[in-house]
Amino acid sequence: MRAANSPALAYAKLPPRRLEKEARKAAVETRDRAERKICHLRSGGRCEVILVIHRSETSAILQKRCKGKARHNHHLQGGIGRRNVGDSILSECRIDVCPQCHGYIEDGIYEPYRQDESELAATVRYIEVRR
């Protein structure tokens, strides 16, 4: 209850920080869903891992694309706290992968083959370094 002689506030009360934080989080989640959908449309629902296989006798390089169904989204730009921050949220910086290939990438069994920082998801290739 306001006293009769107290002046009215000259400025509006700010919204709680919790609401601002929830709004920012919702905006990031909306953008993430949209970028995941673009990535999934690009892959056609199929794992985008392309494995480079060397044939030393003929010095030929073969490329084989995984035939698994894509269920995971792998961020090409890694690091603690880097997912969905900056360019990492873009569909060009992520690939659609099957659970098996995603596990191989995360465990270091598959590593990028001659990948520059400038390469995007459509051009990334992997090589099996260990089993």
Q: Return the domain boundaries, the chain.
A: 17-128
Rounded to two decimals, what is the model's pTM?
A: 0.73
Element (H, E) at 30: helix 17-43
Higher pLDDT, 24 or 12: 24
pLDDT digits (tens, 9 = 90+) for 44-95: 999 999 888 876 666 667 888 899 999 999 888 766 666 777 778 888 888 9
Percent of residues in the chain assigned helix, strand, coil, to nearest 5 = 35, 20, 45
Which pLDDT value is given to residue 2? 53
Q: What angle do CA 111, 112, 116 make, to 5 degrees?
A: 145
Which pLDDT value is given to residue 84? 73
pLDDT band at 8 (very low <50, low <70, confident <90, very high): low
Is residue 16 scored above 80 in pLDDT? yes
Higher pLDDT, 65 or 117: 65
Which residue carries 């370094």 as its tokens? 129
Structure tokens at 106: 């995360």
Output the average pLDDT for the chain: 82
68: left (phi over 0), alpha (psi -120 to 50) or beta: beta
